[in-house]
């Protein structure tokens, strides 16, 4: 593999910049093509030699996708580095770039980057075909596994420009998107059917998360817990393989290192564990408010009568203005988090940078910029945890850990509350720290934060999780549904004294097989069948003196309002009609109405969607 490290790139014309990026992309994909060719030959020979089953073959493709995902994220990462160095940043990080720029450039660069990123999004919209959405989560959960190529490319380029120009948004979103795109292209190239293609895209997403955070276990659980919502071994196995292979591949790239430099976590003993529980309560209460703020920002930006590029430029301008005093708002916050994990910060500095970063993130994400809020969420959690750690350390200096310990736990706790994925958050922080001491306070805080945040309507940063939560709540509601909630008016009701003319008129007005008969007290007495009256009329039997009481069938199946869906369904299985009457109770058969089979089946299928 070629290892490329650019020490210095002089200022160049736009064509030269594009040529350099394209050259690097071609060189990187040449490496990947060689690896892919080797793995394809290996897979073919293995199939012939060992007669691999579909599940075994899927593991081989998971390896290929893991490598592809690592290369895709490496290309995006290197693209950001190249653009930063073209802008004159020869050190590490966007914060240092912001500090080195004169104030007019510091204000203008995020706005100009937003403008260019907006034009890229317009190009993405023009390439939108039948797959209007590029979201890999939708491709896995409700789609056919197809991630559109050109639309994803332009959106990723938009994200690249936003991030490199100082936009306050995460880079992991586009990294995962590109990894998912590469896996989708590979699966379509070998003509995978939709179920296997969806699984392959899930493997690519896991590879992308792993490559972004150096956390292979958390990457696998990110997809299974958040995207798939299940831990079935048929899918979990390939996802783990892809995640691990991506991590191994990323380690082969020169200059690759984990995003966070975690200090040694101290041993937590005694009552200090309770303090981490309180931190969980705090993060669980604040995380939904943070997400609501981002949603409100998107809503307000969308109502502005401005073109998309101008909206993104406006969001960038907000970041630029804030950075006059606080250049730390540039980028996704890696530098700030690493700083507060290793250096002391004051109350005022922490609180100010937290508020300014939230405003900058809301402006960037709200304006429509493409990127992730995963990393900004980690930023907010770490600063909140550090603030909380300063408070408890000031009160009990001899009995509490240093503030950085609370910052480390705060990262995972806030992520668990915002993502609705506590297991993934726990594993991610554990992999970052590689410390068993962090497990106990982290688990307690994450689980508590998850349950606190779950009580809010805005429970997750991901729409797929919100949709799954809504569906779960709907299933719980339907499981408790009784017939009283499905009762409709019974229009085909006659009294015992109704004559044949009245009953015939009712049958002509309503296409039913039975009329319901009630007495003077509105008690259900039975039914009159259409076939009985039709038979008498066709045989020209005397019907002038007959009433509903003469045609009455007293033995007829009925429902009660307290019956569950399952009980009512059993009644319909033995009844060949479209509706059944509902009475108050057997001892007091007051007719309340009818329940239609279609309403019952609709509720049942919504309760059991896989039963369709």
The residue ranges of every structural domain in the chain are 14-250, 272-479, 483-611
When mean pLDDT is compared across 24-28, 162-166, 533-537, the lowest value belongs to: 24-28
Q: Do domains 272-479 and 483-611 have the same CATH topology?
A: no
Q: How many CB atoms lie within 10 A of CB 99?
A: 15
pLDDT at 45: 57
Q: pLDDT at residue 30 above 60?
A: no
Q: Could you give the residue ranges of the DSSP H alpha helices within 421-520?
A: 422-433, 439-454, 463-479, 500-509
Q: In terms of Cα–Cα distance, which of 530, 500, 513 is closest to 577? A: 513
When mean pLDDT is compared across 1-10, 117-126, 464-473, 513-522, the lowest value belongs to: 1-10
Q: pLDDT at residue 265 above 60?
A: yes
Q: Which fold has domain 272-479?
A: Clc chloride channel (1.10.3080)
CA 526 to the chain's CA centroid: 53
Angle between helices 233-250 and 54-86 (to 10 degrees): 40
What percent of the chain shows pLDDT beyond 90? 18
Contact between 194 and 142 under an 8 Å Cβ cutoff? The reply is no
Q: Is the pTM of this model over 0.85?
A: no
Q: Which helix (H) or strand (E) holds 582?
A: strand 579-583
Q: In terms of Cα–Cα distance, which of 133, 231, 139 is closest to 184? A: 139
When mean pLDDT is compared across 38-47, 266-275, 314-323, the lowest value belongs to: 38-47
Q: Could you give the residue ranges of the DSSP H alpha helices within 51-171?
A: 54-86, 94-100, 103-126, 136-141, 149-164
When mean pLDDT is compared across 122-126, 230-234, 379-383, 392-396, the lowest value belongs to: 230-234
Adjacent-strand bridge partners of 515:
528
Q: Which fold has domain 483-611?
A: CBS-domain (3.10.580)
In 3-state terms, what secondary structure has residue 526? strand
Averaged over 128-133, what is the pLDDT? 58
Q: In terms of Cα–Cα distance, which of 189, 309, 187, 242 is closest to 73? A: 242
What does the alpha-carbon distance between residue 136 and residue 187 come to, in Å, rounded to a whole number? Answer: 14
Task: Classify domain 14-250 at the CATH class level.
Answer: mainly alpha
pLDDT at 491: 83
Contact between 288 and 348 under an 8 Å Cβ cutoff? The reply is no
């Amino acid at each position: 593999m070629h290892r490329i490290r650019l020490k210095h790139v002089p200022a160049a014309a736009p064509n030269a910049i594009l040529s350099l990026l394209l050259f690097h992309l071609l060189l990187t994909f040449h490496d990947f093509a060689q690896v892919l060719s080797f793995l394809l030959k290996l897979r073919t020979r293995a199939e012939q030699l060992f007669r691999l089953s579909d599940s075994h073959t899927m593991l081989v493709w998971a390896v290929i996708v893991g490598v592809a995902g690592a290369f895709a994220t490496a290309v995006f990462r290197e693209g950001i580095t190249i653009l930063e160095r073209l802008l004159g940043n020869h050190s590490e990080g966007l914060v240092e770039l912001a500090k080195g720029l004169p104030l007019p450039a510091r204000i203008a660069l995020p706005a100009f980057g937003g403008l260019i990123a907006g034009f890229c999004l317009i190009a993405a919209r023009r390439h939108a075909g039948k797959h209007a959405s590029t979201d890999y989560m939708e491709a896995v959960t409700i789609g056919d596994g197809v991630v559109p190529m050109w639309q994803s490319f332009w959106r990723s380029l938009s994200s690249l420009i936003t991030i490199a120009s100082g936009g306050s948004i995460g880079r992991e979103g586009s990294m995962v998107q590109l990894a998912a795109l590469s896996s989708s292209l590979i699966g379509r190239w070998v003509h995978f059917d939709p179920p296997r293609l969806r699984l392959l895209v899930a493997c690519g997403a896991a590879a992308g998360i792993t490559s972004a955070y150096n956390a292979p276990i958390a990457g696998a659980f990110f997809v299974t817990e958040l995207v798939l919502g299940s831990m079935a071994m048929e899918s979990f196995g390939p996802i783990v393989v892809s995640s691990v292979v991506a991590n191994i591949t990323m380690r082969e790239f020169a200059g690759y290192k984990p995003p966070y430099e975690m200090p040694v976590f101290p041993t937590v003993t005694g009552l200090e564990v309770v303090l981490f529980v309180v931190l969980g309560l705090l993060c669980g209460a604040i995380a939904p408010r943070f997400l609501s703020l981002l949603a409100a920002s998107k809503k307000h930006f969308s109502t502005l009568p401005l073109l998309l590029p101008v909206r993104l430029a406006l969001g960038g301008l907000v970041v630029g203005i804030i950075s006059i005093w606080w250049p730390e708002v540039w980028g996704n916050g890696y530098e700030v988090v690493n700083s507060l994990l290793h250096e002391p910060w004051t109350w005022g500095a922490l609180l100010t940078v937290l508020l300014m970063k939230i405003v900058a993130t809301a402006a960037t994400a709200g304006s429509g910029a493409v990127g992730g809020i995963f990393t900004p969420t980690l930023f907010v959690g770490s600063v909140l945890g550090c603030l909380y750690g300063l408070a408890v350390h000031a009160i009990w200096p001899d009995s509490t850990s240093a503030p950085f310990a609370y910052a480390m736990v705060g990262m995972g706790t806030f992520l668990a509350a915002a993502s609705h994925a506590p297991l993934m958050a726990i594993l991610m922080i554990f992999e970052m720290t590689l410390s068993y001491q962090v497990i106990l306070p982290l688990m307690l805080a994450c689980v508590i934060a998850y349950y606190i945040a779950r009580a809010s309507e805005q429970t997750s940063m991901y729409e797929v999780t919100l949709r799954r939560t809504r569906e779960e709540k709907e299933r719980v509601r339907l499981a408790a549904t009784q017939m009283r909630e499905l009762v409709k008016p019974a229009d085909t009701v006659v009294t015992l004294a109704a004559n044949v003319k009245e009953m015939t008129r009712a049958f002509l007005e309503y296409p039913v097989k039975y009329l319901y008969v009630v007495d003077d007290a509105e008690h259900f007495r039975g039914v009159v069948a259409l076939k009985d009256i039709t038979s008498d009329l066709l045989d020209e039997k005397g019907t002038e003196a007959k009433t509903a009481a003469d045609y009455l069938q007293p033995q007829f199946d009925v429902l009660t309002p307290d019956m569950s869906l399952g009980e009512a369904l059993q009644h319909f299985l033995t009844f060949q009609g479209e509706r059944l009457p509902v009475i108050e109770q057997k001892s007091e058969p007051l007719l309340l109405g009818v329940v239609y089979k279609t309403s019952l089946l609709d509720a049942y299928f919504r309760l059991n969607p896989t039963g369709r």
